[in-house]
Amino acid sequence: MLDIVIMAAGKGTRMKSSRPKVLHTLAGRALLQHVLATAAGLGAQRLITITGHGAEEVEAAMRSAFPEAPLAFVRQEPQLGTGHAVQQAVPLLDDAGTTLILNGDTPLIDASTARALVDACGGTQLALLTIDLADPTGYGRILRDGDGRGEKLLGIVEHKDASAAQRAIREVYTGMMAAPTALLKLWLARLSNDNAQREYYLTDVVAMAVADGVAVVAAQPASETEVLGVNSPLQLAELERRLQRKQAEALLEAGVRLTDPARFDLRGTLVCGGEVEIDVNCVFEGRVELGDRVHVGANCVIRDARIAAGAVIHPFTHIDGAEVGAGALVGPFARLRPGAELGAEVHIGNFVEVKNSTLARGAKANHLAYLGDATVGERVNYGAGSITANYDGANKHRTVIGDDVHVGSNCVLVAPVTLGAGATIGGGSTINKDVPAGQLGVARARQTVIAGWRRPTKKR
């Protein structure tokens, strides 16, 4: 039986932010969300998060992110140290099992490492996750016998309490441990705050285990990235780059051609078919699916979208909540808003905005246009500068454009209005009455030519 305790009550002063530290985002998800997602895969009976600063906000965010997981929250008020934090969870922990302790601000811990730590505990030993750091400043140092190089672990000394000799030790405690729950409870009950920070240190349980004759073992993560904590905006930004690099490498290995893995951002899930190409500085958010041979040009932002095979998204295009059909061409500088559904071979050009509209196969709006709440038929040609006037100031109305309609340039289609199949709309028209199939609709002032008119000349 496994219980997982995640410490997340700290304030995170160095973030210099009113937002609780564990709600700052990494690759689009809260730090704590990363930890809980990993923890949720470990088969624990309970995921207990210790909250304090911003507790209500943190709890609400996690409950909505993990509606199915066995979440529990315990408040720690005030925050008197990591040992005090875990003490708050004691009533929820099952004596017969193992407790795994993780940190809400160490988001990239891998499930395999967490499992290895639980395995190292084996229900009988105290297992610590440790790592050798080139610069161990600030971390708790691992004390071992035989001049510190021995096999036997003796304890952890916090940086602030360490002697100069102890500060030279490079093996540090990562903040994660697994312990037999019944023993952990006995040790937690004996903690004191007799130290430099006047805190109840969780790390003091190590010396207690040694004194009780319980074996203490260490496990190591596969990479340093897994145990990097976030305490400042700089550390958050650095971890973001590491995670983005990892995601980019996974995509490259899967055959996706990213022009530059250092200029790629994925804040969610990206599912790619074969032969997909993504140029520099693109941001993908939410869930995005790119079909076979899709090409995304530089500087596109794409969120919650499905883009079908062979479509080309030209540079500087913004897509949110839209579907793009096979072989469609979009951009440069196009904007697809929620509910935009483009059929196969549709062309959407520069400075064209589409919202809550369906465009059937082969329809084209190539320049400077707006289509909102419209149903557009096959092969429609929608001229430059034309718009649907879909909002009367109170309600939205639909514009229906039949197959093969040609809408000239600079037209205003005042919804609700229907243009029958094959209709033509003369450029510069304001259309507020239906135009039957095959007819020409023109609604503009007639041109007059004034013969003999002279331009004014400058007065002397």
For residues 294 and 273, the answer to whether their CB atoms sit within 8 Å is yes
Select 216 or 363, whichever has its Cβ closest to ligand UD1: 216
Closest Cα partner for 202 from 5, 342, 38, 22? 5
CB of 226 to ligand UD1, least distance (A): 12
Sign of CA pseudo-dihedral 331, 337, 338, 342: negative
Enzyme catalytic residues? 367
Q: Which one-letter DSSP state was computed for residue 52?
A: B
CB of 267 to ligand UD1, least distance (A): 23
First to last CA, the chain: 99
Select 173 or 187, whichever has its Cβ closest to ligand UD1: 173
Residue 241 φ/ψ region, left for φ over 0, alpha for ψ in the -120 to 50 degree band, beta for the rest: alpha
CB of 57 to ligand UD1, least distance (A): 14
**Torsion angle defined by CA atoms of residues 300, 302, 307 and 311, in that order, rounded to the nearest 10 degrees:** -10
CB of 249 to ligand UD1, least distance (A): 26
Place of tokens 């309970």: 46
Select 8 or 294, whichever has its Cβ closest to ligand UD1: 8
Coil, helix or strand at residue 85: helix
Select 107 or 343, whichever has its Cβ closest to ligand UD1: 107
- Cα 341 to Cα 44, 192, 198, 311, distances in angstroms: 42, 63, 61, 13
Place of tokens 């609700």: 416
For residues 268 and 249, the answer to whether their CB atoms sit within 8 Å is no
CB of 3 to ligand UD1, least distance (A): 16
Using CB positions, name the residue nearest to ligand UD1: 140
Positions touching ligand UD1 (CB under 6 A) are 7-10, 50, 76, 79-82, 84-85, 103-105, 139-140, 156, 158, 172-175, 201-203, 229
For residues 353 and 337, the answer to whether their CB atoms sit within 8 Å is yes
Select 221 or 325, whichever has its Cβ closest to ligand UD1: 221
